[in-house]
Amino acid sequence: MEAGPVNGRRGAGPWLLLLPAALVMLIAFALPVGMLLARAFTHPEPGLQNFILLWERPVYLHVLVNTVMIAAAATPVTLILAYPVAHAMAHGSPRTRRLLTFLVLIPFWTSLLVRSFATVILLQRRGPLNTLLVNIGVIDAPLPLIYNLTGVLLGAVQTLLPFVIFPLYSSMRRIDPTLMPAALTMGASPVRAFLRVYLPLSLPGLMTGATLVFISMLGYFVIPALLGGPRQTMVGQLIQDQVGQLGSWGVAGALSFVLLAVTAGLLGLLHRLVGLKAVAR
Amino acid sequence: MGRWRLLRALVCALVGIYLVAPLVVVLIISFSSASFLRFPPPGYSLRWYENLVRDPAWMDAVWVSIQILVPTALLSTALGTAAALALIRGRLPGAGFVGAALMAPLVVPSIITSAGLYIAYRGLGLNGTLAGMVIGHVVVTLPCVIATVGSALRSLDPRLEAAAATLGATPAAAFRRITLPLLAPAVLSSMLFAAVLSFDELIVSLFVGSARLRTVPVQMWSNIRGDFDPTVAAIASLCFLVALIALALEALLRRRNGDRE
């Protein structure tokens, strides 16, 4: 890294270009988030009582554990579905790639709320999915697909898929496609060749995708509110209740603190494992 | 390998249907003639779209959304493009760290950003104001602009500017005549991205808005949580259409960008 301008003409210019964005982020992002987190230690009175409350009240602890469990359940499902799609995009024909990219980009550009609402309709007791399953004779009576864990997972995985498919695809594209045939000619079975050659090479993309899925899911709010039941309450909903209805800034701050600490910890871990460049893409 | 290829094709088809089917269902239901969400609908009509246009609550929400989206997209693009130029071409010490810090709103859960803004705005009287909304939306959209313009700048050959300088162009002229035109598609596509993100933004608007300042997603949100009729499906379909148009425009911009490289 060169310190300072290399050729004299670049002086304060770059700093001035950076300043407005940095100021907006400092004043309208870092400061407000800091204020919320500070409330954890100051509201209603200085001390750690909000954190003690989180630990002692079963409701809070239950929701925190629940949030981690739901995110932990959604992550592998998303990865398993995303992997073959990314693989087909990376090594399939150009036509396959174009079609799949288009299919993945559609939900990427459509708002989370619209997609969640669409899933609400799809999964109703007498909704299209249940009707279809009953009509083709897979099931006798409509399944409870919504306002429970199934609903949350079906909704969440759908919204999370693009966030895994794209990083996976970009890491798979860099894998030499002749490696697999080479392993096969050397006598490895397809499964063994995949496990020993391909999977390890795609691991950075897989880990990046897994982390992104897990941390975005931890902060989910719309999906559990629309597709889950009371037992699927997640920490985001709890924060909204504390701020919006109850005005308990302290508890909201403490919950946010825990959520952010877990997020930062996971990102730090990912950084150590695969490097920040892969994370920032 | 045949078996595995078949399995892959199967999963791809499944995922494709899974990603698009809900949206198609909503699109079909929005044309239903019935006031309940039965599928397939018993008949087809445009009554829910008429309902949408006649209901002042929805029209107000559309107007509020536009009033927020336009300044947000312009501000975000201007600030973000300037920041990306500084970070990638400025040779600033610590640019990597600053760049990562500016991306923070992407990983901090939106609910935390929004609750923080709500608390900060209370003392300033900014809750329920257009200015407060725009500031919040700029925060959420800025990282995407910086990332989009930044990655375009990174793939731009800096030797082009050097070549212009050798041919006698001043740095300012080289920037205006060479860099800016090459960067324009990325800047436009980031503006489009910011506009779409602002139009879709729910959580910031939910916290910072008020009963009188409701965006389309907030209006949808309160409808979905109550007893909803296919009017919501109609607005959702329109949002989906807007997303498709934005996606097509973006692809067009990308293609133009590709042609020039």
Instruction: Inspect the interface and report whether the beta carbons of B26 and A121 lie closer than 8 Å.
Output: yes
Q: List all residues 6 or more positions away from B101 whose beta carbon is below 8 Å from its beta carbon.
A: A25
Which residues in chain A touch residue B243, judged by CB atoms under 8 angstroms apart? 106, 109-111, 114
For an interface test with B, give the residue of A17, A153, A213, A262 to mutate (most B CBs within 10 A): A17
The residue with greater pLDDT, A3 or A265, is A265
Give the Cα separation of B234 and A113 in Å (integer).
14
Assess whether pLDDT exceeds 90 at residue A278. no
Assess whether pLDDT exceeds 70 at residue A239. yes
Give the Cα separation of B2 and A263 in Å (integer).
41
CB A155 within 8 A of CB A227: yes
Which residues in chain B touch residue A36, judged by CB atoms under 8 angstroms apart? 112, 115-116, 119
* Predicted local distance difference test score (pLDDT) of residue A277: 52
* Predicted local distance difference test score (pLDDT) of residue B137: 98
Instruction: Inspect the interface and report whether the beta carbons of A240 and B79 lie closer than 8 Å.
Output: no
The residue with greater pLDDT, A13 or B115, is B115
What does chain B come to in residues? 261
Which residues in chain A touch residue B202, judged by CB atoms under 8 angstroms apart? 111-113, 222
Q: How many CB atoms lie within 10 A of CB A195?
A: 12
DSSP character for B212? S
Instruction: Inspect the interface and report whether the beta carbons of B90 and A81 lie closer than 8 Å.
Output: no
Using alpha carbons, list the distances in angstroms from residue A219 to A64, A163, A241, B39. Answer: 11, 15, 14, 32
φ, ψ dihedrals at B230, nearest 5°: -65, 0
Give the Cα separation of A146 and A125 in Å (integer).
8
Residue with tokens 């290829």: B5
Which residues in chain B touch residue A225, judged by CB atoms under 8 angstroms apart? 225
Instruction: Inspect the interface and report whether the beta carbons of A35 and B120 lie closer than 8 Å.
Output: yes
What does chain A come to in residues? 281
Give the Cα separation of B129 and A134 in Å (integer).
50
Which residues in chain A touch residue B13, judged by CB atoms under 8 angstroms apart? none
Boundaries of every domain in chain B: 56-260
How many angstroms from the chain centroid is the CA of residue A211? 7
Which residues in chain B touch residue A276, judged by CB atoms under 8 angstroms apart? 100
DSSP secondary structure, B74-90, as one string = HHHHHHHHHHHHHHHHS
Instruction: Inspect the interface and report whether the beta carbons of B87 and A18 lie closer than 8 Å.
Output: yes
Give the Cα separation of A160 and B247 in Å (integer).
18
Minimal CA–CA distance to A74: which of A214, A264, A233, A220?
A214
CB B42 within 8 A of CB B29: no
DSSP secondary structure, B2-53, as one string = HHHHHHHHHHHHHHHHHHHHHHHHHHHHHTBSSSS--SS-SSB-SHHHHHHH
Which residues in chain B touch residue A17, judged by CB atoms under 8 angstroms apart? 82-83, 85-86, 90
Assess whether pLDDT exceeds 60 at residue A8. no
Q: List all residues 6 or more positions away from A142 whose beta carbon is below 8 Å from its beta carbon.
A: A125, A126, A130, A131, A133, A134
- Nearest neighbour of B112 by CB, restricted to A33, A104, A109: A33
Nearest CA-CA distance, residue A137 and chain B, Å: 18
* Predicted local distance difference test score (pLDDT) of residue A276: 53
* Predicted local distance difference test score (pLDDT) of residue B38: 77
A23 touching B (Cβ < 8 Å): no
- Nearest neighbour of B98 by CB, restricted to A18, A33, A82: A18
A242: nearest CA partner in chain B: B115
Residue with tokens 């174009």: A98
Using alpha carbons, list the distances in angstroms from residue A240 to A235, B12, B220. Answer: 9, 37, 18
Average pLDDT, chain B: 90
B121: nearest CA partner in chain A: A32
**Any alpha helices (H) in chain B, and if so which ranges?**
2-30, 47-54, 56-89, 95-102, 104-107, 110-124, 130-155, 159-166, 171-174, 180-200, 203-208, 216-224, 231-260
Give the Cα separation of A54 and A258 in Å (integer).
10
CB pairs under 8 A between A and B: 248
- Nearest neighbour of A110 by CB, restricted to B25, B113, B240: B240
Tens digits of residue pLDDT in B208-245: 999 999 999 999 999 988 777 789 999 999 999 998 99
**Domains, in order of start, for chain A:** 46-280 (1.10.3720.10)
**Domain B56-260 grouped into CATH 1.10.3720.10:** yes
A119 touching B (Cβ < 8 Å): yes
Amino acid letter at A178?
T
Average pLDDT, chain A: 89
Assess whether pLDDT exceeds 50 at residue B145. yes
According to DSSP, the residues that pair with B44 across neighbouring strands are B32
Which residues in chain B touch residue A147, judged by CB atoms under 8 angstroms apart? none
Instruction: Inspect the interface and report whether the beta carbons of B119 and A249 lie closer than 8 Å.
Output: yes
Burial class (CB in 10 A: 0-12, 13-18, 19+), A59: exposed
Tens digits of residue pLDDT in A52-98: 999 999 999 999 999 999 999 999 999 999 999 999 999 999 999 99
- At B156, the pLDDT band (50, 70, 90 cuts) reads confident
SS3 B115: helix
